[in-house]
């Protein structure tokens, strides 16, 4: 028996192995997230790319195919070169400098021995302050008695929309059991 023969599965082994089942389970669990990412991230980019070849404008009922005329207008503008130089300058200077400064600060703080945890806290405080402010704002918005979201929902209570949702909501739970959470 050679090494290659040992790697082959026996003839009486079922066609789907545990690894195949695990691979299928992984893809079936990952597929909804991948599809959602495709729909949310890539489809709008593709739509914008197609619309860039038309004379579409918000508020207009229709649009005509203009081909590369939009790009010709963009590249022949006198301000295009100025915009391109400004963007290129920003990308070449600001991005590497900010990444380098952040990496340098992280390495410097990590190399400290005595007061490392205090400096980490001080360095991270601006991030935490923003998160804390957002949490407080959401807490006020969702407050049971003074929150504006609950007040807005209360204005709709007893309305025909609520009655319609109450009638049809029972049917939705039958079709989508996950809504009953």
Q: Provide the pLDDT for residue 68.
A: 93
The answer to whether residue 167 sits within a structural domain is yes
CA distance 167 to 172: 10
Predicted TM-score of the model (pTM): 0.45
> Are residues 150 and 119 located together in one domain of the fold?
no
Total domains in the chain come to 3
Residue 181 belongs to a domain: yes
Is 23 found in the same domain as 64? Answer: yes
Q: Residues 85, 102: one domain?
A: yes
Residues 60 and 105 in one domain: no
Tell whether 26 is covered by a domain.
yes
Please list, in sequence order, all residues whose beta carbon lies within 8 angstroms of the beta carbon of residue 12, skipping any fewer than 6 positions away.
Answer: none
On whether both 178 and 146 belong to a single domain, the answer is: yes
Question: Residue 65 has what DSSP assignment?
Answer: B
pLDDT band at 52 (very low <50, low <70, confident <90, very high): very high
Q: How far apart are CA 162 and CA 156, in angstroms?
A: 7
Q: Could you tell me if residue 134 is inside a domain?
A: no
**Per-residue pLDDT tens over the stretch 20-43:** 999 999 999 999 999 999 999 999
Considering the domain architecture, whether residues 68 and 109 belong to the same structural domain is answered as no
The b/e string for 45-83 (b: 16+ C-beta within 10 A; e otherwise) is eeeeeeeeeeebeeeeeeeeeeeeeeeeeeeeeeeeeee
| Per-residue model confidence as pLDDT tens digits over 68-117 | 999 999 888 888 888 989 999 999 999 999 999 999 988 988 888 888 88
Q: Which domain holds residue 115?
A: 78-124
């Amino acid at each position: 028996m050679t090494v290659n023969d040992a790697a082959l599965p026996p003839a009486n082994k079922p066609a789907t192995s545990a690894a195949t089942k695990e691979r299928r389970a992984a893809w079936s669990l990952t597929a909804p997230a991948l599809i959602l990412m495709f729909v949310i991230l890539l489809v709008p980019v593709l739509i914008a790319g197609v619309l860039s070849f038309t004379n579409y404008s918000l508020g207009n009922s229709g649009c005509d195919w203009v081909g590369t005329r939009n790009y010709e207008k963009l590249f022949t503008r006198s301000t295009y070169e100025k915009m391109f130089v400004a963007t290129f300058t920003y990308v070449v200077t600001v991005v590497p400098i900010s990444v380098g400064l952040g990496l340098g600060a992280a390495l410097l703080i990590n190399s400290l021995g005595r007061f490392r945890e205090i400096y980490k806290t001080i360095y991270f405080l601006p991030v935490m302050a923003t998160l804390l402010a957002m949490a407080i704002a959401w807490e006020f918005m969702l407050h049971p008695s003074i929150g504006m979201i609950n007040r807005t929902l209360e204005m709709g209570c007893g309305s025909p929309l609520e009655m319609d949702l109450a009638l049809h909501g029972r049917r939705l739970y039958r079709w989508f059991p996950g809504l009953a959470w």
